[in-house]
């Protein structure tokens, strides 16, 4: 199915494939909060009457499904402020209807989709009319009590024991069972299934590719050794009660060699970053993100770390701080004498990644309908520009357009659209940071992906409301973009979410997010299905997945 392609002169839910805020646990899926969720608190006296048991159940549902958009303290970000000051202005009946049916602005209908029962929507309506329970802080001493070193560094193998190329390996999130799978992309064989945190948000490769690091929404971090005959967890630590991002140190230059030396976790609550030893996950330092908004200079108690990416120009992590609208460049060369550049950008920052040169950090300020550009070489803000309703690039996609040169692209949470914009300020300054093409998809999506060796750009429609649209993918041809998107169905169950290429760039791996999940492997040249992994007991709710080679080299 082709869509017209134009040449240009939810409360959107962020169900991120790495840690989707929607649950596939079924109608009774919310339940109690997972281990590590915000601490229990008795039902407050104010607001509608609720038993402590119902309050606790509602708190668990909120953590699993709502907190990512509305915030731990419910003050809003991608979704609006739903503190009692606002929610008590509406009747319980109206709140229940909104939760059950969704809204035209992009909020999913939890009940309509079969993910909340009528009883659960009633609980949630009451819960958000009561004060939000404030989770505990986590200082370094408390974090250290959670640290476990299963396999000391000296006892780990010095080379791969399995004789396989780890650059071919994929790390898969099995979201709702708190596990991850390691698959050999060359043979399509399962290497191992490991225990992780709850609803893992991302797999991130170490600089060398030897380790996969995972972070759950519950703040639990695992280091997985890919050299082991059966890849296994060698260390873990719980850094916070809610988290989304993790990355590593990559710099090797005049300041020293920091390859695989550090890992850093970005927390939602407490609002902080936690620096870890890259080999053992020993907690080393906490950096609070509490500060003032870039525009109004108002103090914010909950600035969450939305994305972290390692600079290719310096010993720095590039950090998107959501609520304050700041991009931080955190220099990890000397943790005792920490240096940081704070760049005013835009609220509310979310996902982002590199342009093709890996110089410009491109991050979505999705509630402003804008993409923000930061120059990590010059360490300064460049510009921001509108792309569509609530851009959500994930790490994005970049390639060389035959007419406009280097470009990047994003899909959107609030509409079915791919926006392609110039990303070559040196070679094509007249087109840089301007939307050049727009293409319709089947509906709002979460991720877009391509590869330097591919002529295709793949986009999902995961949060589309049209019946069946979220079971389709949409593909663009780089050399014939005027033809528009080719959208086609790839599954009859579940939701299609997230793409990853293999090392060679000739296969696209797709997740079918369902209780009995599937992994679909498509030939990128022919767009034909070439392999399916299904009917496996371990394959429960697969979502995000990452190839080691592509992740190490920031290929997307």
Instruction: Tell me the pLDDT tens digit for each residue of 197-213.
Output: 988 999 999 999 999 99
Range in 11-15, 353-357, 389-393 with the lowest mean pLDDT: 11-15
Average pLDDT over residues 218-246: 97
Catalytic residue among 24, 69, 267, 481: 69
Q: Which of 147, 201, 300, 350 is labelled catalytic? A: 350
Considering the candidates 24, 70, 371, 474, report the single residue annotated as catalytic.
70
- What pLDDT sits at residue 104? 63
70 annotated active-site: yes
Annotation marks residue 350 as catalytic: yes
Q: Are 198 and 216 in contact (CB under 8 A)?
A: yes
| Residue 65 three-state SS | helix
Are 544 and 17 contacting, i.e. CB atoms less than 8 angstroms apart? yes
Residue 113 pLDDT more than 50? yes
pLDDT at 81: 86
List beta partners, residue 308. 319
The whole-angstrom separation of Cα 456 and Cα 90 is 47
Residue range 407-426: mean pLDDT, rounded: 97
CA 94, distance to chain mean position in Å, is 31
Task: Give the Å distances, CA to CA, from 116 to 17, 216, 278.
Answer: 20, 23, 40
pLDDT at 394 > cutoff 50: yes
Average pLDDT over residues 303-330: 97
Domains contained in the chain, CATH given:
12-127 (1.10.760.10)
Report pLDDT for 152.
Answer: 98
Q: In Å, how far from its chain's centre is CA 214?
A: 12
Indicate if the pLDDT at residue 276 is higher than 50. Answer: yes
Q: Are 319 and 330 in contact (CB under 8 A)?
A: yes
- Whether 102 shows a pLDDT value over 80: the answer reads no
The reported pLDDT for the residue numbered 105 is 60
Long-range contacts from 120-125, C-beta under 8 angstroms, 24+ separation: 120/27, 120/30, 120/61, 121/96, 122/92, 122/96, 123/50, 123/54, 123/57, 123/58, 123/61, 124/58, 124/61, 124/62, 124/66, 124/95, 124/96, 124/99, 125/92, 125/95, 125/96, 125/99
State pLDDT tens for residues 325-379.
999 999 999 999 999 999 999 999 999 999 999 999 999 999 899 999 999 999 9
Name the average pLDDT for the chain: 90
For the cut 60, the answer to whether the pLDDT of residue 16 exceeds it is: no
pLDDT at position 171:
98
Residue 66 annotated among the catalytic residues of the structure: yes
SS3 content of the chain, % helix, strand, coil (to 5): 15, 40, 45
Instruction: Give the pLDDT confidence score for residue 215 in this predicted structure.
Output: 97
Mean pLDDT of 244-258: 97
Residue 34: pLDDT over 50:
no
Residue 431: active-site member: no
- The catalytically annotated residue of 50, 66, 191, 240 is 66
pLDDT at 20: 39
Give the mean model confidence (pLDDT) for residues 288-292. Answer: 97
pLDDT of residue 257: 97
pLDDT of residue 69: 74
pTM: 0.86
Q: Is 392 a catalytic residue?
A: yes
**How does pLDDT run across 130-176, given as a tens digit for each residue?**
898 888 899 999 999 999 999 999 999 999 999 999 999 999 999 98
- In the chain, what is the straight-line distance between the N-terminal and C-terminal CA atoms, in Å? 25
- Options 50, 107, 371, 474, the catalytic residue: 107
Q: Is 451 a catalytic residue?
A: no
Q: What is the mean pLDDT of residues 238-258?
A: 96
Q: What local confidence, expressed as pLDDT, does residue 538 receive?
A: 98
Task: Give the C-alpha separation, 58 to 291, whole Å.
Answer: 30
Check whether 3 has a pLDDT greater than 80: no
pLDDT of residue 2 exceeding 80, the answer is no
User: What is the CA angle 114-468-216, rounded to 5?
Assistant: 55
Quote the Cα angle for 354-359-360, to 5°: 55
Give per-residue pLDDT as tens, 510-531.
Answer: 999 999 999 999 999 999 999 9
| pLDDT band per the 50, 70, 90 thresholds, residue 45 | low
Task: Point out the least confidently predicted range of 67-81, 154-168, 487-501.
Answer: 67-81
Question: Is the Cβ–Cβ distance between 508 and 521 less than 8 Å?
Answer: yes
Could you tell me which residues come within 8 angstroms of residue 498 by beta carbon, excluding any fewer than 6 positions away? Answer: 17, 18, 394, 446, 447, 460, 510, 511, 543, 544, 545
pLDDT of residue 488: 98
Q: Which pLDDT score is estimated for 13?
A: 39
Question: What is the CB neighbour count within 10 angstroms for residue 516?
Answer: 14
Q: pLDDT above 90 covers what percent of the chain?
A: 75
Catalytic residue among 147, 201, 300, 392: 392
């Amino acid at each position: 199915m082709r869509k017209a392609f134009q040449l240009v002169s939810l409360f959107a839910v962020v169900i991120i494939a790495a840690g989707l805020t929607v649950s596939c646990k079924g109608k009774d899926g919310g339940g109690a909060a997972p281990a590590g969720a915000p601490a229990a608190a008795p039902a407050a006296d104010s607001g509608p009457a609720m038993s402590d048991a119902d309050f606790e159940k509602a708190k668990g549902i909120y953590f699993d499904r709502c907190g990512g958009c509305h915030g731990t303290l419910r003050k809003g970000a991608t979704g609006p402020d739903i503190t009692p000051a606002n929610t008590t202005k509406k009747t319980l009946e109206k709140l229940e209807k909104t939760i059950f049916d969704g809204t035209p602005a992009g909020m999913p209908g939890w009940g309509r989709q079969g993910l909340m029962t009528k009883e659960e929507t009633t609980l949630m309506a009451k819960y958000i009319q009561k004060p939000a329970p404030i989770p505990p802080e986590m200082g370094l001493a408390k974090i250290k009590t959670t640290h476990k070193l299963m396999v000391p560094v000296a006892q780990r193998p010095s080379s791969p024991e399995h004789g396989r190329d780890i650059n071919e390996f994929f790390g898969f999130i099995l979201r709702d069972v708190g596990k991850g799978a390691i698959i050999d992309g060359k043979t399509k064989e399962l290497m191992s299934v490991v225990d992780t945190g709850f609803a893992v948000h991302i797999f991130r490769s170490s600089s060398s590719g030897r380790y996969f690091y995972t972070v759950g929404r519950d703040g639990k971090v695992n280091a997985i050794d890919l050299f082991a005959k059966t890849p296994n967890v060698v260390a873990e630590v719980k850094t916070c009660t809610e988290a989304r991002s993790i990355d590593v140190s990559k710099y090797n230059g005049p300041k020293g060699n920091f390859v695989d030396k550090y890992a850093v976790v970005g927390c939602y609550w407490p609002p902080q970053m936690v620096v870890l030893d890259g080999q053992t996950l020993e907690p080393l330092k906490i950096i609070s993100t509490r500060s003032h908004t870039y525009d109004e200079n108002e103090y914010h108690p909950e600035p969450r770390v939305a994305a972290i990416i390692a600079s290719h120009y310096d010993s720095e992590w590039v950090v998107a701080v959501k609520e304050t609208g700041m991009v931080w460049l955190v220099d990890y060369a000397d943790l005792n004498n920490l240096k940081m550049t704070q760049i005013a950008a835009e609220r509310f920052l979310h996902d982002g990644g590199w342009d093709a040169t890996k110089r410009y950090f491109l991050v979505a300020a999705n509630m402003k309908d804008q993409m923000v550009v930061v120059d990590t070489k010059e360490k300064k803000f460049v510009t921001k520009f509108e792309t569509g309703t609530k851009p959500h690039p994930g790490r994005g996609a970049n390639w060389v357009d035959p007419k406009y040169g280097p470009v990047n692209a994003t899909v959107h949470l609030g509409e079915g659209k791919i926006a392609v914009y110039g990303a070559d300020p040196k070679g094509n300054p007249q087109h840089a940071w301007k939307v050049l093409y727009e293409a319709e998809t089947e509906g709002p999506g979460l991720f877009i992906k391509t590869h330097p060796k591919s002529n295709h750009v793949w986009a999902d429609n995961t949060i589309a409301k049209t019946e069946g649209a979220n079971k389709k993918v949409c593909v663009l041809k780089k050399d014939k973009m005027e033809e528009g998107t080719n959208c086609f169905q790839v599954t009859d169950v579940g939701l299609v979410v997230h793409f990853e290429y293999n090392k060679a760039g000739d296969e696209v791996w797709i997740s079918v997010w369902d209780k009995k999940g599937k992994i679909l492997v498509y030939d990128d040249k022919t767009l034909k299905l070439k392999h399916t992994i299904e009917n496996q007991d371990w394959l429960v709710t697969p979502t995000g997945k990452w190839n080691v080679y592509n992740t190490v080299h920031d290929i997307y």
